[in-house]
Chains A and B, each alone.
Chain A
Amino acid sequence: MSIPFKYNWRNLRVRWRSTLATTLGIALVVAVFVMVMSLARGLKATYLSTGDPRNLLVLRKGAMAESSSQITLDDVRRTKFLDGIARNERAEPLAAAEIIVLITMDRTSGGKAHMQVRGISPMSWQLRPGIKIVQGRMFQPGRRECVVSRNVARRFENCRYGQRFRSGKGNWEVVGIFDAQRTAYDSEIWVDADEAREAFNRSFYGSIVCRPVDELAAAALIRRIENDKQMQLRALTETEYFRQQTRTAAPIQVFGACLAAIMSIGAAFSAMNTMYAAVGSRAREIGTLRVLGFRPRSVYVAFLLESLVVAAMGGVLGCVLALPLHGVATGTFNWTTFAEVGFECRITAGLLLGGMLFALIMGALGGILPARLAARKPVLEALRAT
């Protein structure tokens, strides 16, 4: 089957005005799709990159989040020294009791947000080796000092290095900035756990992070904690806990999909219009092609291809338009933790591919009917057309 490629390409250039309008239309739809989905991708990626598969997280039974979990001091002591938890060189168990306190902070971009303040124990740093202080120093317990993530320092009022903010019974000074490498910890303020409990009137801890010696020990610990009727706690791997938080992205995904679906139908209509006009005004050319020996099938493919090329150009342009959003930091509300989670928009190769595919579907939808019309035109009639 021969296809008059050159003829198609020249046509696009001659009819550049309507080609441009359709291309831009498709480009904008693709751009919106890629942008909204990059929010969902970024949010998911943040949670999926958080947590260490070797760590266990112990929460109160029934609690869906660290921030709504409570563990009494007795239970913390009992859990910490359970068999199977690894020990460091000084024979201390690798387990850290932590507490999350939610505080209201002002965003630099306006509005308020619930922030997670994580009260940590000294062992917390050993359990999360990926997190490093990049500016200033670690806080000293008892002096109303805190360290914040780089993301928080940028996005919230009074959280820059050296600044102070008031909350609870404290006027907290930011003495250090840490980098949590785009994990969910990047939305947090870290202080000493016991100081947090005192400053925010908590008699309990929230959760325990611990490191079992190996996978077998981990499974045994999970069972052991689950079956302990006295403690009413449950344990799960840290990665599993954060994987569950990815459902925060679901509403954004649904929103993006609905939006894209409706907009794409509109764009397909526009493409169809353009293609019908193209077929209509080129009747004589179609007739000529047929006389020259091109089969109806070739004409059909040629016109469909023309539509697809326009759509592909729109797709590429749309992806390019969306690209600047990559890496832009933003935040949303996680209903489960009841706190803000910061993330960076992520435009992956897969997402771009999705955008292109989406554009091509619009092109195909817009091109099939007009192309069929072109292919079925009787030769003589087409030649006679004015």
Chain B
Amino acid sequence: MTFPGLVLRNALRNKRRFTLTLSGVALSLFLLTVLRVVLRGLTDPATTDEAALRLVVRHKVSLANMLFAKYKFRVEKMPGVRYCSKMLWFGGIYQDEKNFFPQFACDADTVFKVLAEAKIDPQQLDRFVKERAACVVGIKTLNRFGWKIGDRITLMGAMWPCNLELTIRGIYSGTVDETNLFFHHEYFDELLGDKGFTGLLWVRAENAAVVPDLIERIDAAFANSDAETKTETEHSFQLGFVSMLGNLKRLIGRISFVIVFTLVLVTSGTMSMTIRERVREIAILKALGFGAWRIFCLILAESFGLAMIGGFAGCLGAWVLVHAVDIYKLSRGLFVNFEVTPRILAQSLLGAALLGIVSCLLPAYGNLKRSVVEGLRAPD
């Protein structure tokens, strides 16, 4: 019998135990992988080359304080600014509070120049720009509610005392977040009686080199005014937002640690159970002249193989979950960026490998220490 054959026979000797342990390992690695995917989706907003050129200008006090709309005219004339659009979080309710998705009032003529990676049909864009009560919807939200071009939708204002009656004139896709709805800022102003404010300014810089300087110049321009600004890159703006959610990294990190610890404990317990039943056999192998190293390899291979198969199964499970289930719909629009990246896969498999090695160390050590005679005498 070959060495791998012996390992396989040993592993499958108790099929029930093998299956149970394997399922346990697979389940835990599935959970670990999904936790990492969730963490990444929540705390690591994806960034693109285009996004690196975008800046967000908000009120210095907080996001919930409004900027003067007239700031736009000063910002768009600054050297280094290519396009600029006003943005205002509408936070309206579509039919039911559960149907959450982001809605923004914006400058129709520039918003898709700032959001340059968005793909939108030029004719649709043209119609959107020309019609005051028109809107453009991200493909994900469109599909979620089964809307189509030409549909009329009503958004009830939860934050603002007005309701929007919008007609869908365009669909965009190709961005990291394909869930937003954009409508005319003028329409909002009209409903509210032109109060002359907006939420923030969304700026696209000429090139990456001017960005640091531009940030300083914008903030300097409005220093000591009634509404001082805070300008940051889109990415750091998103990170700031994420940090408001609380320390998710620490929470999920700790839970993952507990899972790994439990897993090592339980797997190592199973391995020692397996080996304890084989004390006599191992003593015979020793008597036949197998070195301690060979016997250790035998145990290691079994444990390692078990952990790796479990690891692969767990990762596959996570992958299937992410691809087969519409997490966006399921989480009611909360998780947009949900993906099993190669990095996460590698981390999980590395974890499985370490698990395989660590959990056989203690049981193997105890066994190798035992003398041949002692082993042969051991009761079953």
Tell me the B residues contacting A by CB distance below 8 Å: 16-17, 20-21, 23-24, 27-28, 30-31, 61-65, 91, 97, 156-159, 161, 226-227, 240, 243-247, 255, 258-259, 261-263, 265-266, 268-270, 272-273, 277, 334, 380
Contact = CB atoms under 8 A, between A and B. Distances in A.
Contacts of B21: 269, 273
A112 B158 contact: no
A29 B266 CA distance: 12
A232 B162 CA distance: 11
8 contacts: A21-B268, A111-B243, A112-B243, A114-B64, A259-B31, A263-B259, A266-B24, A340-B244
A386 B245 contact: no
A62 B156 contact: yes
A340 B91 CA distance: 18
A154 B336 CA distance: 34
A323 B24 CA distance: 27
Contacts, number: 145
A332 B246 contact: yes
A232 B64 contact: no
B258 A262 contact: no
B269 to A, nearest CB: 3
A32 B227 contact: no
Given A102-B62, A168-B61, A274-B269, A262 B243 contact: no
B240 A112 contact: yes
A294 interface: no
Contacts of A333: 244-246
A19 to B, nearest CB: 9
B62 A103 contact: yes
Interface string A358-386: 00000000000000000000000000001
Contact of A101 (B61, B159, B240, B334): B61
Interface stretch (A50-58, A63-71, A184-192, A285-293): A63-71
A281 interface: yes
Counting chain A residues whose Cβ lies within 8 A of the other chain, the interface size class is: 35 or more
A25 B266 contact: yes
Contacts of A25: 262, 265-266, 269
Contacts of B61: 101-104, 167-168, 200
A22 B23 contact: no
Nearest to A247: B97
A102 B262 contact: no
The secondary structure that dominates the B interface is: helix
Interface string A219-257: 000000000000010000000000000000001000000
A277 B31 contact: no
Given A168-B61, A276-B17, A109 B247 contact: yes
B273 to A, nearest CB: 5
Contact of A262 (B27, B245, B266, B272): B27
A60 B226 CA distance: 26
A270 B24 contact: yes
A270 B244 contact: no
A287 B244 CA distance: 63
Contact of A22 (B20, B157, B245, B269): B269
A262 B38 CA distance: 15
Contacts of B244: 111-114, 333, 340
Contacts of A17: 269, 272
B64 A67 contact: yes
Contacts of A201: 65, 226-227
List 6 A-B pairs, minimum CB-CB distance, nearest first: A21-B269, A111-B243, A102-B64, A269-B24, A68-B159, A270-B266
Given A24-B262, A104-B61, A200-B61, A262 B31 contact: yes
A156 interface: no
Contact of B158 (A68, A270, A273, A332): A68
Interface string A20-38: 1110110011011000100
B192 to A, nearest CB: 11
A272 interface: yes
A84 interface: no
Interface string A306-343: 00000000000000000000000011110000111000
Contact of B273 (A29, A111, A262, A273): A273
Highest count of chain B CB atoms <10 Å: which of A62, A68, A276: A62
Contacts of A62: 156-158, 161
B261 A28 contact: yes
A272 B21 CA distance: 10
Contact of B161 (A24, A232, A331): A232
B127 to A, nearest CB: 30
Nearest to B58: A104
A269 B18 CA distance: 11
A161 to B, nearest CB: 23
Given A102-B65, A276-B17, A281-B277, A270 B269 contact: yes
A303 B70 CA distance: 77
A29 B262 contact: yes
Interface string A108-134: 011111100000000000000000000
Nearest to A70: B161
Given A28-B261, A266-B262, A277-B273, 13 more contacts: A21-B266, A21-B268, A103-B62, A104-B240, A110-B247, A114-B63, A168-B61, A200-B65, A270-B270, A273-B273, A338-B63, A339-B64, A340-B244
